[in-house]
Structure formats: structure tokens, C-alpha cells
């Protein structure tokens, strides 16, 4: 008789997903249902993050990424862990996956051998024990009731440890209870774990920012615990990106290497576009526009500044920022935005808004990180920005399609008696909505080349049309 493997037969269906499906079915029937099954934020993905995804599509982030994720995303996660959690990691200690769920499962699969025990405090997220079973390990459930705020004690942890214990799964803030371990409580658990150096802590911190009691604490912050803790986190909850499926682990390099080896065989790297969106989530402003503008208005009123300037805001954010500043009777002088021949996303809405409101615009990255020069006409030079693993210009962005456009633009620049860089800057300055451009010259020769653009900022109608035809 045809049958599935014993490994699969031992698994229970996901109760969470079953409840979610039932909720959807009842809602479709007109039943008023409050769905408490899945951790789904009640707001939408912020606009700057969605804009970053759209930009990634336009820039052809449609190919396989490294298994562990793009270096830029991993570096953004490193910065997040340092700035928000006070923890020092390198990009080699980060591995990105298709959601925190896969990150947890990856970690269990590379650590647990048949017969190994994994301690799981209860109440628990329904998938933890099933993942342990999938690895042919044994879940050891430690009950923590409401009388102890659903948190296990050091004594309970000590009692649950045996020679077979391989890992502890610690979820804080907790799914499903919402309980959060304090720094003192984590230190207490750590004292027990320090007596058992073979035990790895899998710290599921995906709900880090859904926390109503104060600052989040990680057991990795406790002295002596970082090198035996795997932090699991992601963008699902904090940035309302559940469907984007980007999670990560941060941990000892030997575990991360093992996870990369495993993931390389069954999913490879996560979605390229989602990675760029996640990068924007981690690198973008974490402060609400209203709060930022209020603080800037205070600085002006104190006489420490005359005007306010903003940078990298979407049209929607800019409109909101200007409205707040008007309430404070504080003028906004300038907006700094990325703008070039190869990056024109601000044209439909932001540029018209700035003109309407009388706000100047400074274009940064006018040469598209060096793409609008003759540097990339014949491939990617070893000493170029795209050849490096870090930075805004990644190798994947230097496509043959884009290089062909640059070659055509270069030919037109020659016809105008300009270098491509000169023409690219002149093209921006011809627009009366562009106040100035911010150049990043690294040599006197480059600076002189940039300044020559001022000698000819006039374009014929025919030249404008030729440029549009090339760029479309």
C-alpha cells in the first residue's frame, strides 16, 4: 500500500493554520469572527518598505541571492542587533530564511540528533514540538501556568535537563501568552545553563517590538550566553511583513554555516525582492514622522537652526511632514532625495509636491553610484563599488540591459561634447524643481568633470526624446 514516510506520519497538522482557515471560512459565511490564531499585525507594510520592493523589481533583483541572503541585508541586521540590542555580530554570523519559522526549523534540524531532547516551556507555539519530532528528537514540555506568568523558573529548567538535552527553545515575548522574561529572569535561567555548556538556546524573539512592558531583553545579552545562543527574529511582526517571508538567525558561526549548508539543499536563499524590502525596513527611520518633525521644530524655535530639511521621505511622508511643520509655523527649506537618470521614482509624485509646496530638492547619487560614468561600459572593474560585497551598488544591479542603456547615453553625451557624468548632472539641473545635486567626487579630476556640467545644461527637444527612448 502506498503511504507517506513515518517521519511525516508522526507530525500533527498545524493547529494555527487550521484555525486561521476555519476563521476565513466563517467570515466568508458572514459570521462575525475575531481571529486569534495567527500573529498578524493590524497595520499595513509601511510605504518606504513597499517602495524599496518596487525599486528592487525595477533594478532586476529577480535572480538567486546568496543562500544566507544578500550581504547588504545581513549587514543591516548586524547594525540592528548592535543598535537595538547591544550585541556584536558579523555578517558571517547571520543567515536569512523564508520567515522566522524556517529559521527555527533550520536551527533545530542542524542541532538535534535522533533521541536528543529539546526543552519547550508551555504554553508554546504549536510548531515547536513538531519541528523537534521532524528532527527525530524528543520534545520535553515544561508547564508554566498563569500563577508564574507563563514563565519557567530556574528550578524547573534544572529539573528538566538530562544527559540527552540538546537545546532550550525560549520564546520572549511569548507566543501565545505575551509574557516577557525580564533581564533578571533571563540571568537566572542562564545560571542554570552555564552548568550545562552543551545546551544551545534557541531564542525566538520575533515579537521583540510587540512589547508593552518596556525594553526587550535577550538571553544572548547575559554574560557568557551569546556564544551558545541562536537568536531568531525577522520583519514579520514589527513591520507588518508576514507575507514577505524574511526571517533570520544570529548565532555562532559554526551553527550558521551548518544552517547555510542545509538551506542550500532545499530552499536556497529567500525571495530577492523581499530581502531588499527587509533591508529598507532595518535601515530606514524607526521614528514616526510626527515625532521627528516635532523635534526638529523645537530645535528651530530654540534658535539652534533656521530651517528644517528632510531626506529620503516618500511623497506621502513628505506631505505629512510638511503638514506638521506648518502647524508649528516652521519652514521646510529642502528635501534631499535619490534621483538620477537611472532612478526616477520621485518624478510622478514627490517632485510635483515639492514644487507645489515651494520646497527645494537636492538630488543625491546623481551618477547612480558610478553607473552613469564610463566605468561600467565594459563590465565590472575590480576596484569599483559593484565589485564590493557591501554598499548600495551591488553586482546584481549591473545588468547587461542597464549597461546597454548606459552605452547609448554615453554615445549621446559624446555628441553633446560632454562626458556621461557631465550630461547626467546637466540633465538633472535642467529641471527647475532640482535646486542642486550632491556629488561624491573622490578626486580633483572627478570634481572638475562634475563642475563642467554647469557649462551646458540646455537640452534640445530631440535630445530629451532620445534620452526618454533610451531609458524607457
pLDDT digits (tens, 9 = 90+) for 11-34: 888 888 888 889 889 989 999 988
User: Can you give the pLDDT at residue 389?
Assistant: 58
Strand partners, 310: 335
Can you give the pTM of this predicted structure?
0.73
Spatial distance between the Cα atoms of 188 and 20, rounded to a whole number of angstroms:
36
Picking from 283, 317, 346, the residue at the C-terminal end of a domain is 283
Picking from 248, 283, 318, the residue at the C-terminal end of a domain is 283
Structural domain boundaries enclosing 134: 47-283
**pLDDT at residue 318 above 60?**
yes
User: Can you give the pLDDT at residue 164?
Assistant: 98
User: Can you give the pLDDT at residue 374?
Assistant: 86
Alpha carbon 254 to chain centroid, angstroms = 24
Q: Over the stretch 144-170, which tens digit does the pLDDT of each residue have?
A: 999 999 999 999 999 999 999 999 999
Residue 56 covered by a domain: yes
pLDDT category of residue 37 using cuts at 50, 70 and 90: confident
Do 383 and 275 lie in one domain? The reply is: no
Spatial distance between the Cα atoms of 306 and 29, rounded to a whole number of angstroms:
59
Q: Which three cell numbers stand for residue 337?
A: 532625495
CATH at 430? 3.20.20.100
Residue 302 covered by a domain: no
Do 105 and 231 lie in one domain? The reply is: yes
CATH at 128? 3.40.640.10
User: Can you give the pLDDT at residue 391?
Assistant: 59
Do 335 and 248 lie in one domain? The reply is: no
**Domains in the chain, number:** 2
Pick from 64-68, 282-286, 329-333: least confident? 282-286
Phi, psi of 102 (to 5 degrees): -65, -35
Residue 206 covered by a domain: yes
Do 233 and 375 lie in one domain? The reply is: no
**pLDDT at residue 378 above 60?**
yes
Q: Over the stretch 204-226, which tens digit does the pLDDT of each residue have?
A: 999 999 887 767 999 999 999 99
Whether 327 and 302 have beta carbons less than 8 Å apart is answered as no
Spatial distance between the Cα atoms of 451 and 472, rounded to a whole number of angstroms:
28
Residue 314 covered by a domain: no
Do 101 and 250 lie in one domain? The reply is: yes
Do 335 and 279 lie in one domain? The reply is: no
Do 110 and 257 lie in one domain? The reply is: yes
User: Can you give the pLDDT at residue 1?
Assistant: 58
User: Cβ neighbours of residue 220 under 8 Å, at least 6 residues apart?
Assistant: 85, 87, 201, 203, 226, 229, 231, 250
Do 67 and 199 lie in one domain? The reply is: yes
If we measure between CA atoms, which residue out of 401, 392, 106, 398 comes closest to residue 276? 392
The whole-chain average pLDDT of the chain stands at 92
Give SS3 for 203.
strand
Residue 238 covered by a domain: yes
Do 129 and 270 lie in one domain? The reply is: yes
**Mean pLDDT of the region 404-425:** 94
Q: Over the stretch 251-289, which tens digit does the pLDDT of each residue have?
A: 999 999 999 999 999 999 999 999 999 999 999 877 778
DSSP codes joined into one string, 297-322: HHHHHTTS-S-EEEES--HHHHHHHH
DSSP type of residue 116: -
Do 381 and 244 lie in one domain? The reply is: no
Do 364 and 247 lie in one domain? The reply is: no
**pLDDT at residue 390 above 70?**
no
Q: Which three cell numbers stand for residue 431?
A: 529641471
**pLDDT at residue 429 above 90?**
yes
**pLDDT at residue 241 above 80?**
yes
If we measure between CA atoms, which residue out of 416, 415, 450 comes closest to residue 436? 450
Strand partners, 360: 334
If we measure between CA atoms, which residue out of 133, 210, 222, 146 comes closest to residue 185? 222
Amino acid at each position: 500500500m502506498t503511504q507517506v514516510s513515518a517521519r511525516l506520519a508522526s507530525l500533527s497538522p498545524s493547529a494555527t493554520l487550521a484555525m486561521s482557515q476555519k476563521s476565513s471560512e466563517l467570515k466568508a459565511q458572514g459570521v462575525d469572527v475575531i481571529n486569534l490564531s495567527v500573529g498578524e499585525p493590524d497595520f499595513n507594510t509601511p510605504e518606504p518598505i513597499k517602495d524599496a520592493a518596487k525599486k528592487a523589481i525595477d533594478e532586476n533583483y529577480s535572480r538567486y541571492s546568496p543562500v544566507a541572503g544578500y550581504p547588504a541585508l545581513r549587514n543591516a541586521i548586524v547594525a540592528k542587533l548592535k543598535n537595538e540590542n547591544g550585541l556584536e555580530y558579523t555578517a558571517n554570523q547571520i543567515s536569512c530564511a523564508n520567515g522566522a519559522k524556517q529559521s527555527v526549523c533550520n536551527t533545530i534540524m542542524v542541532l538535534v540528533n535522533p533521541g536528543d531532547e529539546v526543552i519547550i516551556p508551555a504554553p508554546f507555539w504549536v510548531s515547536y514540538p513538531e519541528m523537534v519530532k521532524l528532527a527525530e528528537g524528543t520534545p520535553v514540555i515544561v508547564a508554566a501556568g498563569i500563577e508564574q506568568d507563563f514563565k519557567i523558573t530556574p528550578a524547573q529548567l534544572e529539573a528538566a535537563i538530562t544527559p540527552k538535552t540538546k537545546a532550550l527553545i525560549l520564546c520572549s515575548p511569548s507566543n501565545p501568552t505575551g509574557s516577557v522574561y525580564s533581564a533578571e529572569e533571563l540571568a537566572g535561567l542562564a545560571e542554570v545553563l552555564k552548568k550545562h555548556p552543551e545546551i544551545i538556546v534557541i531564542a525566538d524573539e520575533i515579537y521583540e517590538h510587540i512589547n508593552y512592558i518596556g525594553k526587550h531583553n535577550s538571553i544572548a545579552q547575559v554574560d557568557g550566553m551569546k556564544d551558545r545562543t541562536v537568536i531568531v527574529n525577522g520583519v514579520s511582526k514589527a513591520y507588518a511583513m508576514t507575507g514577505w517571508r524574511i526571517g533570520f538567525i544570529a548565532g555562532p558561526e559554526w551553527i550558521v554555516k551548518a544552517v547555510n549548508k542545509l538551506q542550500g539543499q532545499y530552499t536556497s536563499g529567500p525571495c530577492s525582492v523581499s530581502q531588499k524590502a527587509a533591508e529598507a525596513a532595518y535601515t530606514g527611520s524607526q521614528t514616526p514622522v510626527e515625532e521627528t518633525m516635532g523635534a526638529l521644530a523645537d530645535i528651530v524655535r530654540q534658535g539652534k537652526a533656521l530651517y528644517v530639511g528632510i531626506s529620503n521621505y516618500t511623497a506621502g511622508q513628505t506631505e505629512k511632514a510638511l503638514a506638521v511643520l506648518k502647524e508649528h509655523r516652521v519652514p521646510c527649506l529642502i528635501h534631499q532625495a535619490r534621483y538620477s537618470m537611472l532612478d526616477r521614482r520621485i518624478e510622478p509624485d514627490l517632485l510635483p509636491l515639492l514644487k507645489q509646496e515651494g520646497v527645494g530638492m537636492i538630488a543625491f547619487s546623481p551618477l547612480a553610484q558610478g553607473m552613469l560614468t564610463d566605468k561600467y561600459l565594459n563590465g565590472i572593474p575590480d576596484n569599483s563599488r559593484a565589485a564590493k560585497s557591501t554598499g548600495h551598488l551591488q553586482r546584481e544591479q549591473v545588468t547587461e540591459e542597464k549597461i546597454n542603456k548606459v552605452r547609448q547615453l554615453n554615445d549621446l553625451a559624446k555628441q553633446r561634447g560632454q562626458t556621461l557624468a557631465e550630461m547626467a548632472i546637466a540633465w538633472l539641473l535642467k529641471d527647475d524643481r532640482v535646486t542642486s545635486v550632491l556629488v561624491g567626487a573622490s578626486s580633483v579630476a572627478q570634481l572638475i568633470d562634475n563642475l563642467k556640467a554647469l557649462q551646458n545644461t540646455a537640452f534640445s527637444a530631440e535630445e530629451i526624446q532620445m534620452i526618454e527612448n533610451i531609458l524607457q
